[in-house]
Structure formats: structure tokens, C-alpha cells
Amino acid sequence: MFRPGTDETNVQYEDVLCNFCRRAWDPDDPARPLIEGHHGSHLCGECLSLAYLAIVHEGKSDHQPEQACTMCLEAREDESWRSPEFSDAVLCRRCVKQSATALEKDKDYTWKRPSA
């Protein structure tokens, strides 16, 4: 997501916020990369780690029928993680897995999926 009032013709790093914690992107922090979803949604590495732990390692799910994933915009049947701070932000299991795989391949970042 973008900070309210962002100039769309001149978007700065600090205008780009993670939808799940609403912190701005810091391009100098290789441990907290930002992944882009559909419709300008974004997910940071820290929120991805929380979601990965909850869904993959702890078997938790905040899934509710009909609620679309913030990143892929699909209302999926699989498990999902809800931001503890912003309850309208949910992330499906597929996006957790895809994001983790993509980030680990990205040489610009040091993100690693959390171990159990």
C-alpha cells in the first residue's frame, strides 16, 4: 500500500508501506525486503516470517470464508494469516510459500524462512 497522499508520479521509498504492519520500506535494510502483490499491496520480510511461523510451523489459521488474501486478492480455501495489528490484512498459505521461495532466491536480500 502507499502512504495516504503519495504523489503517484513520484513515489519515494518511504511512501511504500507493508500492508501488514504499515511500516515504510527501508531499501537499506536487506533483512526486511518488501514484496509486491496485486493492486499495490506489499508484504515485508518480517511479516512474512510471522506468517510462515504461524501457518507452516504452528499450523495456525485465521481463515474466514469469503475473505480475500491481501496479496493475491483471491478468497482461497487454504490457511491464512491475519495481521495482528491490521485485521483487514490477510495472507494466504500460497502467498506465504511463493513469497518465501522468491525472497530466498533474491541475492539482494538476506531473508531466510524461519526454522521451527
Residues that bind Zn ion (CB under 5 A): 18, 20-21, 44, 47, 69, 71-72, 92, 95
- Residue 58: CB atoms within 10 A of its CB come to 10
Q: How far apart are CA 53 and CA 13, in angstroms?
A: 27
Q: Considering the complex, state which of residue 9 and residue 28 has its C-beta at the smaller distance from Zn ion.
A: 28
* Least distance CB 77 / Zn ion (angstroms): 12
Burial of 111 (0-12, 13-18, 19+ CB in 10 A): buried
Q: Considering the complex, state which of residue 9 and residue 100 has its C-beta at the smaller distance from Zn ion.
A: 100
Q: Considering the complex, state which of residue 85 and residue 104 has its C-beta at the smaller distance from Zn ion.
A: 85
* Least distance CB 95 / Zn ion (angstroms): 3
* Least distance CB 115 / Zn ion (angstroms): 20
Backbone angles phi, psi at 34, to 5 degrees: -125, 130
54 grid coordinates:
504461524
Amino acid at 14: E
DSSP-derived 3-state class of residue 81: strand
Q: Considering the complex, state which of residue 6 and residue 97 has its C-beta at the smaller distance from Zn ion.
A: 97
* Least distance CB 9 / Zn ion (angstroms): 26
